[in-house]
Amino acid sequence: MGGQRPGIGRLTAAIVAVAAMLPYLTLKALWLTGSSIGVRGPNLMNDPAMIGLNAMTFAMDAVALLLALAFTMRWGSRLPAWLVLLPLWVGTGLLSVVVVAAPIVMATAGLTVFDGPIEPWVYLMVYGGFMAQGIGLMAAFVLYARDRWPGVFTTATNAVFPSPTRPLQRFLAWAAAVVAVAIGGVRLVSAFGAEVSVAAQDGLKGLLAIAGAAGLVTIVARWGRGPFWRPVVLAWLGSGSMFAWSLYFMIIIFAGGPLSAGASGPAGLVELFGLLTGLVMGMCGAFLLVERSGVGDVQPAQEPLERDDREHDRRTADHGHR
């Protein structure tokens, strides 16, 4: 992939993502430099906790912008796999919930849901940007991954490959799945009777947790002859959303400030288990992907095996996955 130009689809998706990030980054930069634009309480953004959270979210979106640019450049294919996958795992875990929940909330509750210390137009700009950013970034990443790691998209779930850590993977996958299903159930129960914004987010997080558990067990147990990428998507989004949202919640608790009001008690315990479970699921999936990276790499079986004078007869399809 080193000399391959990104296609028009990937370029377009990345441009949409970058364009959607710029207003958010501009707003955060203004708040960090003392502006109170869009804020009803002028002292809100002077709170140390808010300054820290604004700096953190600005940095997160800046990383997403750099990744979107990497998907459009040739040097992006030479980045270490972990440097691309780790921030995308966290980012898509956060954005997947926003992309689905935000339209539901706005369609059912209207602008009344944005009543608070921030002007309604800020919420509209931010969440509208998040939706466009999430769709563009995820589309660009899928097209990037298809070119860089084609084996994920062209092999079956039940493909056989050497896996020294498979016993550990199976134990971790099943153990994490039990906790993830329990967390998902708690979130679904809490969604009933809650206000629209909370119900939509908790309901979606619960469904993603359960779907992620099913996806991880499927790929570890090698169940089914269907495409490998389908359960990978479930495991990716389910584990990423659990880890990312729980991490964000825990940071808010420890930072204190206006956003931490009511963020304690049983909810904090659920988020702690979500953080740890999502991390275990992500690590288990990472082990599996590393061991599976050679599946489908070799040319058809009728080709002669390599000899000393034919070292380049067989070429890996995952070149760059280092």
Segment 222-234 shows an average pLDDT of 95
Indicate if the pLDDT at residue 265 is higher than 90.
no
110 burial class (0-12, 13-18, 19+ CB within 10 angstroms)?
exposed
- Going by C-alpha positions, the residue among 19, 12, 120, 29 that lies closest to residue 64 is 19
Between 4 and 301, where is the model more confident? Answer: 4
φ and ψ of 227, to 5 deg? -60, 140
Indicate if the pLDDT at residue 321 is higher than 50.
no
In 75-150, alpha helices (H): 81-109, 120-148
CB 232 within 8 A of CB 293: no
Sign of CA dihedral 174, 175, 181, 184: negative
Predicted pLDDT at 305: 37
Question: Percent of the chain at pLDDT above 90?
Answer: 64
What is the band of 122 on the pLDDT scale with cuts at 50, 70, 90? Answer: very high
Residues pairing with 39 in the sheet = 118
Indicate if the pLDDT at residue 198 is higher than 60.
yes
CB 203 within 8 A of CB 170: no
Between 179 and 123, where is the model more confident? Answer: 179
Averaged pLDDT score across all residues of the chain? 86
41, containing H or E segment: none
Q: Helices 229-255 and 166-191 meet at what angle, rounded to 10?
A: 60
Predicted pLDDT at 264: 60
CB 281 within 8 A of CB 176: yes
Between 198 and 65, where is the model more confident? Answer: 65
> Which residues have a Cβ under 8 Å from the Cβ of 145 and sit 6 or more positions away?
152, 153
Predicted pLDDT at 128: 93
Distance (Å, whole) CA 119 – CA 186: 32
Segment 1-8 shows an average pLDDT of 69
Distance (Å, whole) CA 141 – CA 139: 5
Predicted pLDDT at 113: 72
Q: List pLDDT tens digits, range 128-152.
A: 999 999 999 999 999 999 999 999 9
